[in-house]
Amino acid sequence: MIEHTLDTTNAILYVRPKSALEKEDFAQLAKAVDPFLQKSGNLAGIIIEAPGFPGWDSLGAMAAHFRFVREHHTRVKKVGLVTDSAIGNVAERLASHFVAAQIRHFAGGDLEAAKQWVMQTA
């Protein structure tokens, strides 16, 4: 399950995984963000707040996750990973090879630092 909030003023999607990711989570994310993208063009960023990576509840959920990334990554400028999990460092390095967005890992309590980084234009 994923909780999410779209800050339309700053063009930031906040994502908070709460349990194993489900296929429907990504349909809900697309439903929330696609109308904004059609109107505004891009997101300044996505900020993912997660103590750890919860995994997927099925192979279909993993496929939906990858599909969501493939269909949206060129319209996202930055991704901030806010986590104390070691997966943050791995994801920062690995994902940068597959997505157009800049990716940066922040410590678990640094949500505000992630937001400021996403909002920087330079």
Share of the chain above pLDDT 70, in %: 89
| Domain coverage including residue 83 | 2-119
State mean pLDDT over 9-29. Answer: 95
Claim: this prediction has a pTM higher than 0.85: yes
Q: How does residue 54 score in pLDDT terms, banded at 50, 70 and 90?
A: confident
Q: Which pLDDT tens digit goes with each residue over 59-80? A: 999 999 999 988 998 999 999 9
Beta strands (DSSP E) in the chain are: 2-7, 12-17, 43-49, 76-82, 102-106
- Identify the pLDDT of residue 84: 86
- Identify the pLDDT of residue 101: 84
Instruction: Indicate if the alpha-carbon torsion angle 12, 78, 112, 106 is positive or negative.
Output: positive
Q: Which CATH number characterizes residue 68's domain?
A: 3.30.750
Number of structural domains (the chain) is 1
Q: How does residue 24 score in pLDDT terms, banded at 50, 70 and 90?
A: very high
- Identify the pLDDT of residue 34: 96
